[in-house]
Structure 1
């Protein structure tokens, strides 16, 4: 059995009863770990496995919970500052004990009510889970070698800058959304999927809300729709099996672009694909 990980979900074995709940087997490193009564399922028996999250409670005791935090160690999250003390700010991350954001891990002092993008990690000195809003320490300057133009990625927006919205890509590198792609997005804290538009030499990614080439396909689809509307029968006698020459003559498009435009219009329910061609619905 692998040692349990603080700040992560772990599958642990119910080893014995306890007046405050049940004890889980934490192995040689942690021994018995308490799962308080309020989190104990009714149907569990000794020897059963249960999935729990491990963290230190308000008295710095290792404890298990079946509650789900908003993020785990090693992840970025968008959290609200709900308190501030001499030790730092405290964030709501969905568990009874709030998450500490030390002042030393803040590039600028936060206030109660602020929402921040932070990285959650296990502090090796104290053994506690803490947060940091000094994101550059945790985001790589290098783009993963497997990323390619056109790849779909997950992002978390961080801030709006002069050149667009800066975002964390796949939890490990920086990217930017620019122009109209950035216009209607939240400056920070928004999660969404987008596409790699360009891999830059400076270690950043240019991102797009649409796949590369989408604007060209959309333009071709509009052109094809207009061509259909201008015909008396609302019909064009070409389809994906037609020769490139026939398609070029009828639409002015290459066969590849024509097929992409047809696919888009068909999915949108704007055309029918018939035996001898395509027509408006």
Structure 2
């Protein structure tokens, strides 16, 4: 059986002016064309050739000896080469670009940018791309608690958090309560594994362990003070929302950072805020 969207070994059945026709076995009646420009001079009937099967611009099955950047069920980072009213087209290394339907997109899609997509077969038996890669990602990543990882943002749910494809392969999630800034779909981020869940998926954090993060947060506070002529309108009575907006950290992290800076004598309290110590 000839399989759409997969790399497979097929048998040369017969020659034609436009190329050679291939089949999956001697008993198979279905054939697929390998264009003449991809046929080697030494090919003979009965030879086996490894090809990828997809559909051409007229929606006919066709094969190629070229390997696409992703195959059926795979995930990869592909570049948008064109945007249309019904969807976008991606460069996946073949003559015909891979179609990304509008309904399968997440966020604003920009020409020339790369996005994480998976390949699937739609209801019309066409090979297409989707940004809904959740079910295509793997579990049981080779990472443990406190390991540093890198991944791409592929979805955001305000009730759950930020979904990350670690190494473009594995499930990762930053829970909503650990998010202190906005991220765009397609953005690559670095994070720390805080928990390996029982289902094999990874829970992530953008922050270091507390004893390391306090120095980073203290530096954020100092930078903000220096940018605001030595004063910021924040203190331990400020709302968590205001602190998050100004510094992109939690109120608890802010209080720890301020406490350290006070202890070192770098800042002091002022009316309605803090200031650099003179």
1:158 aligns with 2:153: yes
Gap runs ≥5 in structure 2: 175-184, 206-278
Q: Which residue number in structure 2 is paired with residue 174 of structure 1? A: 172
1:32 aligns with 2:27: no
Q: Residues of 2 paired with 1:195 and 1:4: CA distance?
A: 43
TM value normalised by structure 2: 0.56
Dislocated runs of 4+, deviation >2 Å: 26-30, 146-152, 154-161, 163-176, 187-190, 194-198, 200-204
Aligned pairs for 1:1-281 within 5 A: 3-26=1-24, 31-123=30-122, 125-136=123-134, 138-139=135-136, 144=139, 150=144, 156-158=151-153, 166-168=164-166, 171-174=169-172, 188=186, 198-200=195-197, 204-206=201-203
Q: Residues of 1 paired with 2:8 and 2:72: CA distance?
A: 13
Q: Which residue number in structure 2 is paired with residue 265 of structure 1? A: none
Gap runs ≥5 in structure 1: 177-186, 209-281
Answer whether contact 1:148 1:196 (CA < 8 A) is retained.
no
Q: Residues of 2 paired with 1:111 and 1:94: CA distance?
A: 19
Cα distance change on mapping 1:50 and 1:189 into 2, 3 Å: farther
Q: SS of the residue aligned with 2:37?
A: helix
Aligned residues: 192
RMSD: 4.0
Q: Residues of 2 paired with 1:37 and 1:189: CA distance?
A: 41
Shift of 1:32: 1.6
Q: Deviations over 1:175-219 (max 9, x none)?
A: 66xxxxxxxxxx9587x9x997741368641579xxxxxxxxxxx
Cα distance change on mapping 1:34 and 1:111 into 2, 3 Å: same
Q: Deviations over 1:84-119 (max 9, x none)?
A: 223211111111111110001112341322221111
Q: Residues of 2 paired with 1:207 and 1:78: CA distance?
A: 21
Q: Residues of 2 paired with 1:158 and 1:122: CA distance?
A: 24
